[in-house]
Chains A and B, each alone.
Chain A
Amino acid sequence: MTLDLESRLNLEHDEQPVAAFLAENGGGLDRDDTLGGEGGDPAVYWLTMRPASHPAERYFARVGWEAYPYNHPSIKFATGVRGALNVTSAWPVMTGYRPTSFDICRPISKEGFAIHPEWAEGSTAWPTEGNPFLWVAQTIQFHLDNDYQGRAS
């Protein structure tokens, strides 16, 4: 992914509250280009998350931005940080999360807005005020804490 300078600066501004929030919930945040090795991508973040009801479980959400805060991110679950993105068991079972399609059918992700173009208008439109990155992280965590039905098979 390519990321313009404005988006990069905006993400750098907003990422610390996201990291703090995830840490409070037993998870963590890694920006891909800080992980070492070749091909690190500053547009990609790896969110390590767990449901409050199953603290031993770990989920790894890959969040990839194209223009921040103006565009919704691609969100996929992986087998680990920089892990495979095409494994259904990497996904939590929750309303709107579709492991076999590898997408989240909710107005928080690029994939969801692609399925429902009508979400671009009205109250479902992508929010650009405040810290949308934190909102994405809090929304996924809220689903994990309130709608978690187990790990996909």
Chain B
Amino acid sequence: MAEPETGKEIKVRVSFPISKRGPYEQEFTPDTTVGIVLADAMKYFEVENDTQFVYVLSYDGREQDPATTLGSLVGHSREVRFTLVKKITQG
């Protein structure tokens, strides 16, 4: 995995198809964790975890660990696109 470049902002875009709002877009430093982005995106889309669902971020199809940093995820890239996933906890 490539070493993250420090000090440069990473453009983050989070899409969530079942929202009236357009994609969430923000810039973060490479040491920002996925969990920080997730919390901010959930606030933007006005959703919360409950007993039926938890929200997670998917990158390249894969659920991401909230502790992962953006820099370690994208390496030298300066942008990252996530999907906010409503993960069902029962079925």
Contacts and interface: CB of A to CB of B under 8 A. Distances in A.
A and B bind: yes
B85 A139 contact: yes
B85 A127 contact: no
A145 to B, nearest CB: 4
Sorted nearest first, the 7 A-B pairs with minimum C-beta distance are A96-B91, A127-B18, A145-B61, A134-B17, A135-B17, A130-B18, A131-B17
A142 B61 contact: yes
Contact of A95 (B17, B63, B83, B91): B91
A130 B17 contact: yes
A71 interface: no
Interface of A: 17, 25, 52, 95-96, 105-107, 112, 122-124, 127, 129-132, 134-135, 138-139, 141-142, 145-146
Given A96-B88, A139-B85, A129 B61 contact: no
A138 B85 contact: yes
Interface of B: 16-20, 50, 52-53, 58, 61-63, 83, 85-88, 91
A105 B91 contact: yes
Contacts of B83: 138, 142
Highest count of chain A CB atoms <10 Å: which of B18, B19, B52: B18
A50 to B, nearest CB: 11
A15 to B, nearest CB: 13
Contacts of A131: 17-18
26 contacts: A17-B17, A52-B61, A52-B62, A96-B91, A105-B91, A107-B88, A112-B91, A122-B52, A123-B50, A123-B52, A124-B52, A124-B53, A127-B18, A129-B18, A129-B19, A129-B20, A130-B19, A132-B18, A134-B17, A135-B17, A135-B18, A138-B83, A142-B61, A142-B63, A142-B85, A145-B58
